[in-house]
Structure 1
Amino acid sequence: MTLIINNQEVQQVLTMEDTIAALEQSYLQLAAQEAVCRPRIDIRIPISDPARNYQWGTMEGGSTAGYFAIRMKSDIVYEKEYKGVLTQEKYCVRPGLYCGLILLTSIENAEPLAFINDGYLQHMRVGADGGIGVKYLADKDAEVVGMLGAGGMARTHMEAFTRVRKIEKLQVFSPTRENRERFAHEMAAKYNIEVKVCNRPEEVYKGAHILAALTDSAVEVTDGALLEKGTHIVVVGGSGKPDGESLKRVDVYLRFGDTPAPTGHPELATDAEHIGYEARPQQGKYGDGRRDRRKHGNTLPDRRVTLADLVAGKVKGRSSPDQITYSERGNLQGTQFHAVAGKVYELAKRAGLGREIPTEWFLQDIRD
């Protein structure tokens, strides 16, 4: 039988500890050539509304550990301005609804094992990446988080940070007062920490050991002029990287890795985070491959270390409390989903969760 696992069931079984462990293992398997993935690829097509466009996004990968997965997203994408901040928005069918699915298969007999809603898992895997970066590169005594953003990504990042460091204080800014105040109250209660609600984004930087920019902004939101010595930087959203001034100040840059080139075609290797194919390519569109998000790749090659080399002791990470550090996943989205979805499948099976449907519905006797 094939399982259908929804977001609520994923939330019941998937812990941040499991997510961090699964992702670390998948990145190391990829470096050891025991796993494989390709970069995320988006297809963008203009629609009847010139202010919006269709985007189909996929990322896929698998490993000798037993699973293959592809994540699929079907979105209408557009941008809007709110209180002076330009944000990227998306929906499926109507605003407030989204279509994101993971198909998990067995590499042993090719069986379709599960279809999994990607919403909760998506937030967990991105938050876990932030936690892995903090685990390996933030100062060992880091305890103050400065956060730009107060949504779902902010919640899972806080969960990840508290798993790898003893966090004592959070300083948070979000453009909407109600959102930042609600988030602050929630985090104070959940983690028993001091929380400062900031009325200006500049306030989150003061005394912060970890700066986390976690927004839907379509442009960069960090300010390198405000970074204090010893800060570790995590960025989700915006251009996908810190602003130029922050990058100038980074001493050590941890990029978990890069997708391998296709077998026999080394010339097709890429470190791009977003690869897009478009109908009417000269026509303006929105999406993760637009607004200079097509490729930032290895942002600081002269200061880069990889996760595999760091774990193996081949390179050093942070060497002093005053260094400014920055971590990001790289274009490894494809290797994330087989690892975390495989874990979710095992846990859901063990807990008796998920809706069973006949695997035969997906099989046929006509060779393709």
Structure 2
Amino acid sequence: MSLTDNPVQDSGTTPVRSARAGAADGATASTRIDFLYLSEPDMIRAGVTDMPACVDAMEEMFALLHHGDYRMAGANNNSHGAIVMFPDESPFPDMPKSTVDRRFMAMPAYLGGSFRTAGMKWYGSNIENRDKGLPRSILTFVLNDADTGAPLAFMSANLLSAYRTGAVPGVGARHLARKDSRVVGILGPGVMARTSLSAFMAVCPRIDTVKVMGRGKANLDAFIGWVGETFPQITVQTVDTAEAVVRDSDIVTFCASVATGDPSIYPTVRREWVRPGTFLSMPAPCNIDEGMEGDDIRKVLDNTGLYESYLEELPAPAHRFVPAVGVRFLDLVAEGRLDKATLEDLGGIVAGDTPGRRNDEEIIILSVGGMAVEDVAWGTIVYRNALRDGIGVKLNLWDAPALR
């Protein structure tokens, strides 16, 4: 769909003129607010699946995080967001009951720099959606002008979220993987595996082999078919164990979803499996053995404040509730088994204040927690692309507000 008669006043940043505009010369300021609606096909046309550009956007975002030019939810401005959960039993017959991944989640953030926008991802999730032919989570995103608070766009966000999630491992690989990396080991052949591999290919173009482990033949076949179509130069090998995923891989990523509550069932990395020079990127549930706790393993967090927020909000050990390996790192710090000073931050590495990979022998593990600022960064760029290319449907909030 095309965008017509768009009242853009600010080089693609805001579609509404500030109420203060024109006040100095006596002109009457417009109070009209229009915003863009971007469906999933609109988002694709506006470039949401452009993984190299998404990796670049995430890299810019991480530098802003390092310098503090952002805000997320919570008293410490680093919270993942606010969540609505449901009980196992309820006296209200129409209230949803607790199942795996049944929740509603709001993830707001502000991001400065060249973005200077705010936004919120909102989604509902239910594992039973798959029986209805729907994604487990159904996501939308609203982007707002940071000055007036006016909406700029309302977007379909499943692809937005998937690509920004995969792009973060790509940023990690750009700085922390060996440049000659060829073999990628993947546990869990779902959407996150596809976007992570796309990001790895964007920054490590010598990759020629993927080893993948999955629980079901349908998912494995779909992943193998996608790789064949998207990266025909890659050879895909199916393996049956997490050990086979990790051994002899240059890049390893765990992308499988599992039930939370018992870290002993989370996919685990064992030190004896990991060869020198491996980069491990973990955007999904992950645990580590004692050997991986050692000082010879570089441990990197995508945002230290995010994990500190988890520890403030949740009872110990927090890894029971949030299965990211970075939460396990902070639990180990709380238990006195790990020195917090040994933990590194990806933002500091991107900004150049902390070195990236120092040699070909280092083993580095990155925890990817997922943050609302990522949605704001990529959502802002896709929105500006849509404005530039006339994509989307312009909707009117009001010509003048009824209440002021």
2:105 aligned to which of 39, 57, 67: 57
Q: Deviations over 1:228-276 (max 9, x none)?
A: 22221112322xx33334632561122132448xxxxxxxx93328957
Q: What amino acid maps onto 1:333 in structure 2?
A: M
Aligned to 1:143: 182
User: In the alignment, what sits opposite 1:183?
Assistant: 223
Distance of aligned partners of 1:356 and 1:50 in 2 relative to their CA distance in 1, 3 Å threshold: closer
8 A contact 1:275–1:294 mirrored in 2: no
Partner secondary structure for residue 86 of structure 2: strand
| Deviation per residue, 1:28-86 (Å, 9 max, x gap) | 1122232222212212132556553852211111133321011111234xxxxxxxxxx
Q: Hey, what does 2:212 align to over in structure 1?
A: 172
* Shift in alpha-carbon separation, 1:73–1:175, aligned structure 2, 3 A: same
Higher mean C-alpha deviation, range 204-213 or range 29-38: 29-38
Aligned to 2:41, what secondary structure does the other structure show? helix
Helix, strand or coil: the match of 1:358? Answer: strand
Asked whether the equivalents of residues 187 and 254 of structure 2 are also in contact (C-alpha less than 8 Å), the reply is yes
Q: Judging changes above 3 Å, is the alpha-carbon distance between structure 1 residues 92 and 146 closer, same or farther for their aligned structure 2 residues?
A: closer
Deviation of the 1:93 alpha carbon: 11
Q: How does 1:59-208 map to 2 (within 5 A)?
A: 59-64=107-112, 65-76=115-126, 89=127, 91=129, 96=134, 98-165=137-204, 166-191=206-231, 192-208=233-249
Backbone CA RMSD of aligned residues: 3.0
Tell me, yes or no, if the aligned pair for 2:105 and 2:124 is still in contact at 8 Å: yes
Is the Cα contact below 8 Å between 2:64 and 2:70 reproduced in 1?
A: yes
- What amino acid sits opposite 1:29 in the alignment? L
Q: Given that residues 252 and 318 in structure 1 are in contact (C-alpha distance below 8 angstroms), is that contact kept between their aligned partners in structure 2?
A: no
Secondary structure of 1:270's counterpart equals helix
What is the rounded CA distance, in whole Å, between the counterparts of 1:254 and 1:235 in structure 2? 10
Contact 2:304 2:345 in 1 (8 A): no
Q: Which amino acid aligns with 1:336?
A: E
The one-letter amino acid paired with 2:293 is K
Displacement of 1:297 in angstroms is 6.8
CA contact (8 A) 2:266 2:323 kept: no
Whether the 8 Å contact between 1:23 and 1:340 is mirrored in structure 2 is: yes
Residue 143 of structure 1: how far off its partner (Å): 1.4
Question: Alignment partner of 2:180: what SS?
Answer: coil
User: Identical aligned pairs, as a percentage?
Assistant: 20
Counterpart of 2:322 in structure 1 is 293
Deviation at 1:304, TM superposition (A): 1.8
Normalized against structure 2, the TM-score is what? Answer: 0.73
Which runs of 5 or more residues in structure 1 are unaligned?
A: 77-88, 261-268, 282-288
Is contact 1:272–1:297 with CA below 8 Å preserved after alignment?
A: no
**Alignment check: 8 A CA contact 1:272 1:294 kept:** no
1:86 alignment counterpart: none
Matched, 1:11 2:44: yes
In structure 2, do the counterparts of structure 1 residues 328 and 338 end up closer, same or farther at CA, with 3 Å as the change threshold?
same
Residue 63 of structure 2 aligns with an amino acid whose one-letter code is L
Provide the residue aligned with 1:266 in structure 2. Answer: none
TM-score between the two structures when normalised by the length of structure 1? 0.80
Matched, 1:309 2:339: no
Q: In structure 1, how many angstroms separate the alpha carbons of the residues matched to 2:202 and 2:269?
A: 27
1:274/1:294 contact within 8 Å kept: no
* 1:149 and 1:213 in contact (8 A); partners too: yes
The residue that corresponds to 1:237 in the other structure is 284
256, 261, 270: which one aligns with 1:215: 256
Q: How many residues align?
A: 332
Q: Aligned-pair distance for 1:290?
A: 8.5
Counterpart residue number, 1:365: 402
